[in-house]
Structure formats: structure tokens, C-alpha cells
Amino acid sequence: MNLPKLSVQFEASSEPLRKRAPSHDEHGKALCDFMMLVPGLKEKPQHLINSTLQDVHLILMRFNHVVVFADFNLKLNLLWVSIKPVNGIRLEIASAIQELVPEAKLVSHI
């Protein structure tokens, strides 16, 4: 499977995440995943939602050497990120997101 260097989706999609999120890189190596919750984001004014999503996007672009896929589900206030397996990188990315979006919480990582 040929994957884009970085695929970031912050729009509603009717296709389930399990069908969109890659599980392996272009060389067949398994990817790692983590989720972050941004409580209450969907209830905020649109300009604050847009600003938050832009901040998250900027952070993910800083890590484009390891981030393969990201999806923000605004209905669930949930960010899903698929990354190449690099020791400590998921916590580094999560911490960088929390610097700009302090209410973001690391929920799970696989």
C-alpha cells in the first residue's frame, strides 16, 4: 500500500476510522496509534474550534517525519494519530499538542 507522507483529516467522514486509518507503512511495518480527547471542543464557538484544529495541525506537521495519518472527530472531540514506531515519539507529540491545547488529554496509545 502506498501511503501519503502525511494524511490529516479534520472533516466529517462517513467511512469508519478502521477503514481509513492505515495499520502498516509503505514497507509493511506496523504503525503505532494514539488518541487524544479535547473535552468540550464541539460546544465552543466556531472560531475557537478552528483555532484549536489549526494548532493541532501545526504540531502534527512539525512531526511529519513520523506522523502518517491523523483524524479529528469533532462529534467525539477525539484526535486519532497513526505514527511510525519511534521510541518516545507519541509522548513527545502529545506533549507538544498539550502545550498549544492544554485541555487535550492523552487517552490511549497502541
d(CA 29, CA 8): 20
- Show me where the domains of the chain are located: 7-12+33-109
Fold observed for domain 7-12+33-109: Alpha-Beta Plaits (3.30.70)
Residue range 27-57, pLDDT digits in tens: 889 999 999 999 999 999 999 999 999 999 9
CA gyration radius, the chain:
13
Structure confidence at residue 3 as a pLDDT band (50, 70, 90): very low
List helix spans (H) across 1-110. Answer: 17-20, 46-62, 89-100
Predicted confidence at residue 22, as pLDDT, reads: 87
pTM above 0.85, yes or no: no
Computed over every residue of the chain, the mean pLDDT equals 86
Torsion over CA: 102, 104, 55, 1 (sign): positive
pLDDT tens profile 71-89:
998 889 999 999 999 999 9
